[in-house]
Amino acid sequence: MNWKLELAFIPVTDVDRAIDFYVNKVGFHLDYDQRVSDELRFVQITPPGSACSIAFGEGLSENPPGTSSLQIVVADIQKAHDELASRGVEVTDVQVLEWGHFTTFDDPDGNHWAIQYLPNRPNG
């Protein structure tokens, strides 16, 4: 039996600001934005090529904003870094370590993202 992670929740303070950051700056795809009730709004975004989406909104989590940490694996770390930087994302320099190459950024709430390249894995 396969177990597939398909959705990860991140807490944010301002849903519209988060949509703007993730879609217009980071380049994720906006899949869904639905206000279910006055207390519940559900937003789903997906990184390009990912089988796992990210969700945030109103009434979805009791975790404080800025407490999530997620990692994405890419096939070309420099290209990923340069694309994020060109979109205005404050991204760190690429760090080359024995087990992988990394660059990181935080969203406006402080949720942390690591982008990793694994040189010994085909296609990242």
- pLDDT tens-digit map of 60-109: 988 999 999 999 999 999 999 999 999 999 999 999 998 899 999 999 99
Structural domains in the chain? 7-59+67-117 (3.10.180.10)
Residue 62: exposure state from Cβ atoms within 10 A (0-12, 13-18, ≥19): exposed
Residue 49: Cβ within 10 Å count:
10
> Which residue matches tokens 């894995």?
121
Task: Answer yes or no: are the C-beta atoms of 17 and 24 closer than 8 Å.
Answer: no
Residue 10: Cβ within 10 Å count:
24
More confident residue, 33 or 124: 33
Task: Answer yes or no: are the C-beta atoms of 39 and 62 closer than 8 Å.
Answer: no
Question: With a threshold of 0.75, does the pTM exceed it?
Answer: yes
Phi, psi of 64 (to 5 degrees): -70, 145
pLDDT at 106: 98
